[in-house]
Amino acid sequence: MSAIFEAELVFFNNKAFKSKIPMPGTTSDVLAVTEEVRANCSASPAAAVYEFYKRKQKIDIFLCVTDEQENTGYDGRSCWGGIGRNSESSFAGPFAKYLAEVHPSAKMSFVSFLRGPTDAGAMVSDLKARGIEAAQMRMDGERPDLSKFDG
């Protein structure tokens, strides 16, 4: 998708980072990125959006692929033991600041791998609580139906 949309691809663990292949365009590139980028127990999607806020870089559409389970804020504080959901360090905080101070018409879309049909997604819910609408493609985290991407 990053190659199709000529989009910047940003990954996150406890901080935002890019892969050595900035825009994978071939199957080999994608496989190389999947070997390079590994989960490591920290998840801070807020760190990725905070980078764009910090640089004051205008992005029209953000696409976040996530299980919506943050455990680290953009500033490294734990979402479990300290900051809690919907704080200024979790995803909704930096995105709200981004909209207010950088690009008010930016849109957020999620591909959310969730824990069942009743799971609304914590990040989408936190944005909604702040009056920020976000598009969401819901996927079953246990059995994702990737055929939905054809549409």
Q: Where are the beta strands (DSSP E) in 33-76?
A: 61-66
Q: What's the mean pLDDT in 21-45?
A: 83
What is d(CA 74, CA 60) in angstroms, rounded to the nearest whole number?
21
pTM, 2 dp:
0.81
Residue 107 has pLDDT above 50, yes or no: yes
Eight-class DSSP state of 53: H
Say what the pLDDT of residue 77 is: 67
- Report the mean per-residue pLDDT for the chain: 85
118-148 pLDDT, tens digit each: 899 999 999 999 999 999 999 888 776 666 5
DSSP conformation letters of 85-113:
TTSSSSTHHHHHHHHHHT-TT-EEEEEEE
